[in-house]
Amino acid sequence: MRNFTNVSDIGPLDIAVKEALKVKSDRFAYSALGKNRTLMMIFFNSSLRTRLSTQKAAMNLGMNVIVLDVNQGTWKLETERGVIMDGDKAEHLLEAIPVMGCYCDIIGVRSFAGLNDKTEDYEERVINQFIKYSGRPVFSMEAATRHPLQSFADLITIEEFKTKPRPKVVMTWAPHPRALPQAVPNSFAEWMNATDYEFVITHPHGYELDSFIGNARVEYDQRKALEGADFVYAKNWAAYTDPNYGKVLSTDRAWTVDSEKMALTDNAFFMHCLPVRRNMIVTDEVIESERSIVIPEAANREISAQVVLKRMLESL
Ligand code: AN0
Ligand code: CP
């Protein structure tokens, strides 16, 4: 695998999941593969899980790891070409990227959507510049429009917990005080569409997503959507459609996932990528319940990252 930015880069999902479960059963089996190889993880945004799980995955493979938090200890980076750099940004991304590429074998990039300019976000300018100018294989650690390591971990988790061949998976919008990117829901939809699960998306009017959602069924009545669900995947996102791109249109806690909503499901498991705001997205009771699998889901981030790094190392 050269780059990993979306579901198509991983190939057939049944094979990827099989490989993930194999890696999980013996995560040090490939510890010689990454010897004398260096992973550079570049963060333009905060992270807890991605940072730790990806570093751990690289360590399992015997790699060295360098972590860089852009704008914290580095020169401030200009990302737009053509700008007269007479402001506070001392270096351009177009030099910084190939320089960073000199010091490593594989690059991971986290660069969220700015949520101001839809075209800029949906063109994936930052990660695409890394792909173009670093000279190294690049993987997404959540880019502007997708978070494939998360979706892969979500898929592994559903495969582990499902009790029917074709579970009903419901992704529900839930309220949050700040504007969040569409990357996690876009990506989750992309990966769910690549399975044969029954997949339903529910959100208030105005929160329609991009064409990533493919043929997924959209049901505006959250309660109706949740009926008979086997997995409830909660997530907030900011509006995608114009003229409200990047805006918070609602913080209506009638959409919060609570026990009464979970009672409509077929004893569903509760999932969230984390970090989660309790009693906005989900009540304490639901996230602490026996059916909450947010921790095993986060644990699988190590596994999804390890499969991706393993495949990238194998193709170096
Ligand atoms: C980010 C988001 O919603 O994209 C990261 C989630 C993995 N969440 C926040 O910024 C709270
Ligand atoms: N789920 C996830 O990507 O978490 P972090 O933002 O903490 O990395």
The tens digit of pLDDT for each residue in 251-285 reads 999 999 999 999 999 999 999 999 999 999 999 99
pLDDT tops 90 at residue 6: yes
Residue 58 contacts by C-beta under 8 Å, 6 or more apart in sequence? Answer: 34, 39, 64, 65, 305, 309
Amino acid at 187: S
Confidence of residue 71 (pLDDT cuts 50, 70, 90): confident
The predicted-structure confidence for 185-219, as pLDDT tens digits, reads as follows 999 999 999 999 999 999 999 999 998 888 899 99
pLDDT tops 90 at residue 72: no
Task: Give me the residues paired with residue 160 across strands.
Answer: none
**Predicted pLDDT at 212:** 82
The number of the ligand 2 atom at minimal distance from the alpha carbon of 142 is 3
For 7-22, what is the mean pLDDT? 98
In the reported structure, the alpha carbon of residue 112 is separated from the centroid of ligand 2 by a whole-number distance in angstroms of 11
For 135-157, what is the mean pLDDT? 98
Pocket test for ligand 2, best of 42, 46, 47 (most atoms within 8 A of CB): 47
The predicted-structure confidence for 88-127, as pLDDT tens digits, reads as follows 999 999 999 999 999 999 999 999 999 999 999 999 999 9
Q: Does residue 257 contact residue 251 with C-beta atoms inside 8 Å? A: no
CA distance to 35, 105, 139, 142, 144, per residue, from 128 (Å): 28, 17, 10, 13, 11
Consecutive H or E run containing 199? strand 198-202
C-alpha angle 145-205-45 in degrees, rounded to nearest 5:
25
